[in-house]
Amino acid sequence: METKQINQAILPAGRRAGVGIHFSSLPGAYGIGDIADSALTFIEALANMRIGVWQFLPTGPTAYGDSPYQPLSAFAGNENLIGIEPLIRAGLIGSEEAQTLKQLPLEVVDYGKLIPAKNGLLATAADRFSNKIKAGKINAQLKSCYAEFLHSQGPLWLDDYALYRALKTRHGERPWPQWDQPYRYRDAAAISRIRTSSAKAIERIKIIQFLFDQQWRALRTCATQNNICLFADMPIYIALDSADAWAHPEFLRIDRDGKLAHVAGTPPDYFSADGQRWGNPLYEWDYHAANGYQWWINRLRHAATMADLIRIDHFRGFEAYWAIPVESATARYGVWETGPGDRLFDALRDALGCLPIVAEDLGVITAQVDALRLRHQIPGMKVLQFEVRDPDFQLSSIQKNCVCYTGTHDNDTTVGWFRGGNHTRTQAESEATRANALWLTGGTVATINTDMIRFAFSSDAGLAIAPMQDYLGLGCEARLNIPATTEGNWRWRLQSGQLTPAFRESVMEMVCKSSRG
């Protein structure tokens, strides 16, 4: 199929240096980092360090395993990331009411205690916001912004999401395939009744999403003023237990009860000998093609309002995807099936123009996947932890239109990786990799984290990124996620005392010497 060629720049202009850290990992007094005061303070630190790009994980509402990659919506914001201080300043909660969150640990995110406590506070804030509107005690501009939010986002995703969350609570937070049949099937009479009986809960959910939206707008403004590019992450798949799957099962290869014959994942690779069985439903690509890929257009357009760049996780699934029989306990026995390919990206470009996409093209990548990405001039990724395993690797092989990483959220930290913390390598492989890393970077055992960052910065890649843990030289204890596991992930937090003046100065010097920013 002939596809349209583009010659538009995707990555930020010039050679840029970036950092990878999710909002949940930022310092803060309320049990988790947030998109408000925590994030604004961090942007100031980035500007001081001359780091021009901030990459973070998906920001959707989490559920299973607290994973950002299994969100309850492809559009909604994670309420746990809403900042508390702006709500206090707005008079929506009292500072004494937030004391429960201040009792949570600062070192890690304790989701089990955080979620119920924060949900209670946000419900209080939403109810007070609603009461202020009804009493005419809210300023006209904010009232107008709320009305516009309901008008623009309601038909797109907000109405379905609020209804889904209200029904999910009504059913004891069980996944929608386990709901009572009238609600599972979206029976018109049952839905009409729940809109009336749960009107307050539905309104509360919408207000909470509005509060997220308002804080995000302030974040984007601050980032723009400080010349910081926001780099978001988008999972290719959606969760079965999500508002999108419940409201539009026709998008997916599932029946009206949510049952499926195959699930998504990846075959055995560097991360896992059994592969990764994610369990997400696969897309019904014929349906999307027949509808001009409108859902995908809406999804990417929405993401582009939130960030300057969007990395799409598991890009290779657009060329061919791994379909695993649902009864299979591991990902070993899947088969490759053909994805939408050029047709999807042509439709996206026709609707949106230049696509602000970076492809996560790690793992089993074929010539066909590379060709799809290159035809659409979508930057790919290079991860040095993988690349330096090859004794023939040369830094010159990293081209300008790509993003070079020391490691990602799925890797161990560079220090942990170098010390052999990654259990997928044999001792001999670890020793060979360590030797090659030292030879390539010209570094030392004691400085391997900064040596790898400087190595990435010296590449031709338009954008070079290191996780915050690597800038700080932290070990395995600071690892954020171990793929193919569901417990103990997404908990690490940066401590405010770690970003000392001396640390910031050292990072700024490293960035400036590499002619990045």
In this predicted model, what pLDDT tens digit does every residue of 394-428 receive, in sequence order?
999 999 999 999 999 999 999 999 998 655 567 88
The tens digit of pLDDT for each residue in 247-274 reads 999 999 999 999 999 999 999 876 678 8
3-state DSSP of 94-140:
CHHHHHHHHCCCCCECCHHHHHHHHHHHHHHHHHHHHHHHHCCCCCH
Cα–Cα distance, 517 to 407 (Å, whole number): 19
Residues 6+ apart with CB under 8 A from 499: 45
The tens digit of pLDDT for each residue in 338-371 reads 999 999 999 999 999 999 999 999 987 999 999 9
Q: Known catalytic residue: 410?
A: yes
Contact predicate 190/163, CB 8 Å: no
HSE of 97, CA atoms in CB hemisphere, 13 A:
17
Q: What is the pLDDT of residue 421?
A: 65
Residues 6+ apart with CB under 8 A from 361: 315, 316, 369, 370, 373, 380, 381
What would you report as the CA-atom Rg of the chain, rounded to the nearest whole angstrom?
23
Q: What is the pLDDT of residue 423?
A: 54
Of the chain, the end-to-end C-alpha distance in Å amounts to: 40
DSSP 91: T
Q: What is the pLDDT of residue 483?
A: 84
| Interior/surface letters 464-483, b for 16+ CB within 10 angstroms, e for the rest | bbbbbbbbbbbbbebbbbbe
Indicate the domain borders of the chain: 248-378
Of residues 244, 313, 319, 361, which has the active-site annotation?
313
The average pLDDT across 229-249 equals 97
Q: What is the pLDDT of residue 116?
A: 97
Looking up tokens 């598991």, which residue turns up? Answer: 314
Estimate the crossing angle of helix 37-49 against helix 199-225, to 10 degrees: 20
Cα–Cα distance, 190 to 471 (Å, whole number): 54
Q: What is the pLDDT of residue 2?
A: 38
Asked if the model's pLDDT at residue 477 lies above 50, the reply is yes
Tokens (6 digits) for 247:
């409201």
Q: By C-alpha distance, which of 2, 211, 220 is closest to 119?
A: 211
More confident of the two residues 119 and 485: 119
Asked if the model's pLDDT at residue 29 lies above 50, the reply is yes
Distance of CA 34 to the CA centre of its chain: 14
Of residues 233, 410, 451, 470, which has the active-site annotation?
410
Give Cα separations from 65 to 78, 118, 277, 488, 511 (angstroms). 14, 18, 14, 8, 36
Residues 6+ apart with CB under 8 A from 448: 414, 415, 418, 437, 438, 441
Tokens (6 digits) for 276:
């990764």
Asked if the model's pLDDT at residue 1 lies above 60, the reply is no
| Interior/surface letters 30-69, b for 16+ CB within 10 angstroms, e for the rest | bbbbbbbbbbbbbbeebbebbbbbbbbbbbbbbbebbbbb
Looking up tokens 């997404």, which residue turns up? Answer: 490
Q: What is the pLDDT of residue 7?
A: 38
Asked if the model's pLDDT at residue 5 lies above 50, the reply is no
Cα–Cα distance, 109 to 489 (Å, whole number): 10
Q: What is the pLDDT of residue 271?
A: 63
Asked if the model's pLDDT at residue 229 lies above 90, the reply is yes
Q: By C-alpha distance, which of 46, 29, 175 is closest to 95?
A: 29
Contact predicate 216/35, CB 8 Å: yes
Q: By C-alpha distance, which of 515, 513, 402, 407 is closest to 19?
A: 407
Q: By C-alpha distance, which of 327, 318, 131, 118 is closest to 234?
A: 318
Cα–Cα distance, 228 to 50 (Å, whole number): 9
The tens digit of pLDDT for each residue in 454-467 reads 999 999 999 999 99
Identity of the amino acid at 497: G
Decide: helix, strand or coil at residue 281.
strand
Distance of CA 272 to the CA centre of its chain: 21
Q: By C-alpha distance, which of 384, 397, 386 is closest to 470?
A: 384
Asked if the model's pLDDT at residue 4 lies above 50, the reply is no
The average pLDDT across 25-47 equals 98
Tokens (6 digits) for 194:
């729940």
Cα–Cα distance, 26 to 4 (Å, whole number): 41
Q: What are phi and psi of 62, to 5 degrees?
A: -95, 160
Contact predicate 475/415, CB 8 Å: yes
Cα–Cα distance, 32 to 429 (Å, whole number): 37
Asked if the model's pLDDT at residue 481 lies above 90, the reply is yes
Neighbours of 123 (CB within 10 A): 17
The tens digit of pLDDT for each residue in 318-344 reads 999 999 999 999 999 999 999 999 999
DSSP 79: G
Mean pLDDT of the chain, nearest integer:
94
Distance of CA 122 to the CA centre of its chain: 22
Asked if the model's pLDDT at residue 511 lies above 90, the reply is yes
Of residues 85, 213, 360, 387, which has the active-site annotation?
360
Cα–Cα distance, 175 to 242 (Å, whole number): 8
Q: What is the pLDDT of residue 517?
A: 77
Q: What is the pLDDT of residue 425?
A: 63
Q: What is the pLDDT of residue 102?
A: 97
Cα–Cα distance, 378 to 361 (Å, whole number): 10
